[in-house]
Amino acid sequence: MEMVYEWFRTLYQETGINLPFLYDEYDRNRMIDGLFTTVKLSLVCLFFSIIIGVIGAWLQGSSFKWTRRFVSGYIQLFRNTPPLVQLYFFYFAIGTLLPRVENDWGGQSPIFGSFAWAAISLSFFAGAFNVEIFRSGIEAVPKSTVEAAEALGFSKLQIYRDITLPLAFRVVLPALNNNLVNLVKTTTLAYAIAVPEMLYEANQIWSDNVNVTEMMVFLLLAYFVLVGILVSGMNRWERAMKIPGYG
């Protein structure tokens, strides 16, 4: 590895292409931390947004009018307002209302840090889209399948968990795929509340080294690769889960 690092140092000296995160240990660690934070934030948000989507879609099928109204209100509110403003609202407005806890040094610190708020707000944002995606999948499941399950004595929850959802999930994978890619791209917003993710760390590095162009090109390529990995993984999963003869 040392040789590679040295090669990039020489590259900088010879050509002026400065990639400090490849030869400087401090910058390298920052960049790796940033990458891991982005991946971690994406995974946490992916997980919770899918949970929100599944639960929301179930609630939308509820027989109570007000439950359905509440869920559709949530969807419309989160779909039609900018995610950045939502993030600010959660972090600044709600964050300051919550009680504070004592930290290790005896000082006061907020219950949730910036990472937690970014995860919460982005999960709710992506979850609003996921609810609609799951709902359209549930509607694709034929009524007679549900009736057959009812006849076999399945409870409502069991039908949703064991019959409707697995079928719906396969149908909606392409749409879900799209939304999750968007979610990964939206994690860059966490930059605004100082979550140390990739964009934030890159910003720190280009502030120290004045190499905006190189860092920018690297960032674009890095996100290109990240999204590419997600898309190819999801496509493979899509093929594996494909319902024979459908679509």
Interface positions with other proteins (CB under 8 A): 68-69, 72-73, 75-77, 79-86, 88-89, 92-94, 96-97, 132-133, 135-137, 139-142, 144-145, 148, 167, 171-172, 175, 181, 185-189, 191-192, 199, 203, 212-213, 216, 219-220, 223-224, 227-228, 243, 246-247
E strand residue ranges, the chain: 100-102, 108-110
- The residue among 72 and 113 lying less far from other proteins, judged by its C-beta, is 72
Burial track 180-192 (b if 16+ CB lie within 10 A, e otherwise): bbebbebbbbbbe
Q: Minimum distance between the CB of residue 152 and other proteins, rounded to whole angstroms? A: 14
Q: Closer to other proteins by CB, 9 or 182: give it.
A: 182
Find the shortest distance in angstroms from Cβ 73 to other proteins: 6
Tokens 């806890």 found at:
101
Q: In a 3-state reduction of DSSP, which class is residue 56?
A: helix
CB of 69 or CB of 236, closer to other proteins: 69
Helices and strands per DSSP (H, E), number in the chain:
12, 2
Of 5 and 55, the one with the shorter C-beta distance to other proteins is 55
Please say which residue, 63 or 144, places its beta carbon nearer to other proteins: 144
Min dist. Cβ of residue 2 to other proteins (A)? 31
Identify the CA nearest to 49 among candidates 131, 126, 120: 126
The CA R_g of the chain, rounded to the nearest whole Å, is: 23
Structure tokens at 138: 């549930």
- Min. distance of Cβ 26 from other proteins in angstroms? 22
The two tokens of residue 56 are 């929301």
Report, in Å, the least distance between residue 179 CB and other proteins.
12
Q: Residue 109: what are its φ and ψ, rounded to 5°?
A: -140, 155
